[in-house]
Chain A
Amino acid sequence: MTDSSNPAESKRESLISELAEDIVQDAATIAEPDEDRLEQVDEMTAEARRRLSFEVSVLLNEAVTKLSPGRAYEERKETPQRTFQRFGVNFRLQHALMFVSVIILIITGMPLKFPELAISKFIIIDLLGGLQNSTLIHRVGAVGLIIVGVWHLFYITFSRDGRRDFFLMMPRPKDIKNFFQTLLYFFGRRPSPPKFGRFSFIEKFDYWAVYWGMVIMIGSGLIMWFKEWFPKYLFDIGREAHSDEGLLATLAIVIWHFYNVHFNPDVFPMSWVWWHGKLTEDEMKHHHPLEYAEIMESQSARIVEEKLKVADTEEATE
C-alpha cells in the first residue's frame, strides 16, 4: 500500500478530494447567513400577514352586513326584485272570507260526521257548549260561504279581471296534454316540466273542485236548513251528499291544498301569495313561463308603440 504510484488510484483520489471541496464550499454558503435570502423570508411573512388580515376584515365585513337588518334592507332596496301582481285585492278578500268560513264549517261540521269520537264530543259539547250553539255557528259559516259564492259569481261576470281569469280557467285540451307531460317528467322521461300559462292544469283542477264543492255543499246545506220546504227523501239525499262532499273537501284541502301552499319544499312553511298576491320574477319564469313571456311581449310591444307614438308626434310637430 505504501507504494501508491498506481496512476488509476491517484486519479480516483484527486476526484474524491475535488468532490469533497465542492461539498465543503456549498455547505459554507448555506451555513453562512445570506442577506438576500433573509430578506425574501421576511417579505413572504409580511405578505401572508397582509393577506390574512385582508381576508379576516372581508369576512367580518360580510358578517356585519349580513347580520345587520338595516344594511340588508338597504341592499335589497338597491336591487329591487321585479314582482308581478297575480291576485288583486278583490280576489284575495274572496279567498280570505272563504277560508275563514270553511274553517268554521269544518270545525262545527266534521264532529257530526264522526259523533262517536271523543274529540267530536269535546268540540261540540265542551268547546262550543252543545249542539244548539254549534249548529248556529255552522250557519254563520254557511252564510259566509254563500256570500263568497255569490260574490265570486258577480266577480266573474262584472269585473274585468274576473272575466279574464274565468275565461283562462276554462279547461282546454292543452291541460290534458300538460298532465301527461307532467307524468312523463315525474318518471324521468322528460327533462323539464311542461310550460304553463296563467293557470296550470293543477290550478284549474283546484278551482273547479271548489266550484263543484260549493254547488254541492251550498245546495244540500240549504235543503237541510229549510228542510220543512222539501220532501224527506230530498233531505236524505242532501244530508248524504253534504256529509260525503264535506269529508272529500276537507281531505282535499288538508292533503292537496296544504301540500301546495304549505308543505311544498318551494314554499314551506307557507306561501304568502294569499296575503300580498305577488309573484317574483323567478317564480313567474318558473311556474308560469308562458304568461311571463306574454307579459314581456305585450310590455315590449307597448314600449315600441309608445316610441312609435313619440316619433309620430315628433314628426307631426316638425
Chain B
Amino acid sequence: MARFSRQKELIGTLVIYFLVALGAAGPVRGEQKCLICHGKTDHHKIEATGRRVSLYIDTSVIAASVHAGKKCTDCHADIVDIPHKTVAKVNCRRCHYSGNPVGAPQGEMYDQYEHSVHGLEVGRGNRKAPVCQDCHGSHDVLRHDLPQSKFYRQSIPRTCGTCHLDIYATYRESVHGSAVELGNTDSPVCTSCHGEHNIERPDLLDSRVSPIHVTETCSGCHGPMGVVAKYGIKTDRIATFEESFHGVAQLMENMMVANCASCHGYHDIRSQVDPKSSINPANIPGTCGKEGCHPEASARFTSGRIHIDPSSEESGFLYYISRGFLVLTVSVLAGLFIFIILDLFRRAKAARGQK
C-alpha cells in the first residue's frame, strides 16, 4: 500500500515537473515560431533598390542584452500572423513609460528627447533623424557600463559618428578626442558637452553649447574645481575670461563677443603647442582677426598673454599696476574721509563754542 502510493507520488511529481517544463518552454516555443524563418542564417529580403537585407536574428545577442527573456512580440507587437509582410518600427514607450508594471527604467528622457533637436526632427517627419534604437541599439541594447555597449563612454563618439561622420573625424584629432582614444576617462565625449536626451541646436539659448551657456559648460571641467587640475592645466581660465571684456560683455547678454569656443574651437580644440591649433601663437592673429571680431588684428595687437589675471604675481607689470592703484585708492580715500570727519568735528566744536 505504502509502496504503491510512493510510485503514484513519483509519477505525479514527474507529471508536474513535465508540466512546469512545458510551461517554462512556452516563450521558447513562441520564439521558435519566429525562428522557423528568422533562425535561418540565409533568411533575407531584397529591397526595391536591389539591396539584399539579412533577416537572420541571432538569439544570443538578445539573450546577452538588457532585454533577455522578452518575447519577440513584446516589442514587435504589431505582428499577429505568420508569415508577416511588414514590421513597424518598435515603440520603446510601450514599456518605458513612468509607472510601468514591468519595471522598465524610465525618467525624463522621453520628454527631454521630444524637445531635443533629434526629437523635433522626428516630429517634423524627418526619416533620417534618430529614434531610441538608432543610438541605444535594437536587439543589442546593453548597459552603458559594459565596454561592448554603444553607450560605453569611450564608444559614444563612434555611436554619434555613425551619423555625424565629419564631426567625429574632426573630434578624433582634437585634444579631447585623442585623449578619449587613448583611454582617458576624464576627457569629454560628445554627450559631456551636448547632453544626452536633451541635445539642442547650438543657436537656441537653452542649449548647453549656445554662446551664453558654453562658458558654463566648459567650466564643468576647466572651472576652479575642475578635473583638469589633475593634468596640470590651469583652472583660472574661466575666472580670467569672466573678468575680461569678453566675459563682461557676455554677462551683459551681448551675443557678439567671443566665448571659449570662438577662440579655442569646439570639435577641433587642440593644445596650443599643436601647429594646427587656433590658439597656437602663430595662428592667434588669424583667430582674433576673424570676420566680425577684430579684422584689423595684427601680430602686434595679439602680442601678450590672453588669459591674464591682474591679481596674480605672474602677470608681472600688470600686477604691480593693479596693486599700486589699490594702495593709492585706499590711502587717498581714507585720507579724504578722515579729513572730512576732522573738519566736521571742528565745525561742531566751533558752533558749540559760539553758543
Spell out A's residues near B (CB within 8 Å). Answer: 111-112, 115-116, 121, 124-125, 130-132, 134, 183, 185-188, 227-237, 239-241, 244-245, 247-248, 251-252, 255-256, 259, 265
Q: When the two chains form the complex, which single residue of A115, A116, A183, A240 contacts B310, counting CB atoms closer than 8 Å? A: A240
Residue in A closest to B248 when the chains form the complex, CB atoms: A115
B residues less than 8 Å from A124 (CB atoms):
252
Q: When the two chains form the complex, which single residue of A111, A231, A240, A248 contacts B301, counting CB atoms closer than 8 Å? A: A231
Give the complex CA separation of A214 and B275 in angstroms: 44
The 8 sampled A-B contact pairs (Cβ below 8 Å) are: A132-B254, A188-B346, A227-B301, A228-B294, A228-B301, A239-B245, A244-B322, A251-B333
B residues less than 8 Å from A265 (CB atoms):
344, 347
- Determine whether the beta carbon of B303 is less than 8 Å from that of A251: no
B residues less than 8 Å from A230 (CB atoms):
300-301
A residues less than 8 Å from B297 (CB atoms):
228
Give the complex CA separation of A236 and B322 in angstroms: 11
Give the complex CA separation of A245 and B322 in angstroms: 10
- Determine whether the beta carbon of A237 is less than 8 Å from that of B318: yes
- Determine whether the beta carbon of A116 is less than 8 Å from that of B343: no
Q: Known contacts being A115-B252, A248-B332, is A255 close to B303, with CB within 8 Å? A: no
- Determine whether the beta carbon of B298 is less than 8 Å from that of A228: yes
A residues less than 8 Å from B347 (CB atoms):
265
Given contacts A115-B252, A227-B301, A241-B321, 10 further A-B contacts (CB under 8 A): A121-B252, A187-B342, A232-B305, A233-B303, A233-B304, A240-B325, A248-B329, A251-B329, A252-B333, A259-B340
Residue in B closest to A134 when the chains form the complex, CB atoms: B252
- Determine whether the beta carbon of A237 is less than 8 Å from that of B317: yes
Residue in A closest to B301 when the chains form the complex, CB atoms: A228
How far is the CB of A227 from the nearest CB of chain B, in Å?
Answer: 7
Q: List which B279-308 residues lie within 8 A (CB) of chain A.
A: 294, 296-298, 300-306, 308
- 6 closest A-B pairs by CB: A232-B304, A244-B325, A233-B304, A228-B296, A186-B342, A115-B251
Cβ of B349 under 8 Å from chain A? yes
- Determine whether the beta carbon of B318 is less than 8 Å from that of A233: yes
How far is the CB of A211 from the nearest CB of chain B, in Å?
Answer: 14
Q: When the two chains form the complex, which single residue of B252, B301, B302, B304 contacts A130, counting CB atoms closer than 8 Å? A: B252
| B317-355 to A contact mask, C-beta < 8 Å, 1/0 | 110011001101100110011001011111101000000
Q: Known contacts being A228-B297, A247-B329, is A252 close to B336, with CB within 8 Å? A: yes
- Determine whether the beta carbon of B249 is less than 8 Å from that of A233: no
- Determine whether the beta carbon of B253 is less than 8 Å from that of A125: yes
A residues less than 8 Å from B333 (CB atoms):
248, 251-252, 255
Q: Known contacts being A130-B253, A240-B310, is A245 close to B325, with CB within 8 Å? A: yes
Residue in A closest to B303 when the chains form the complex, CB atoms: A231
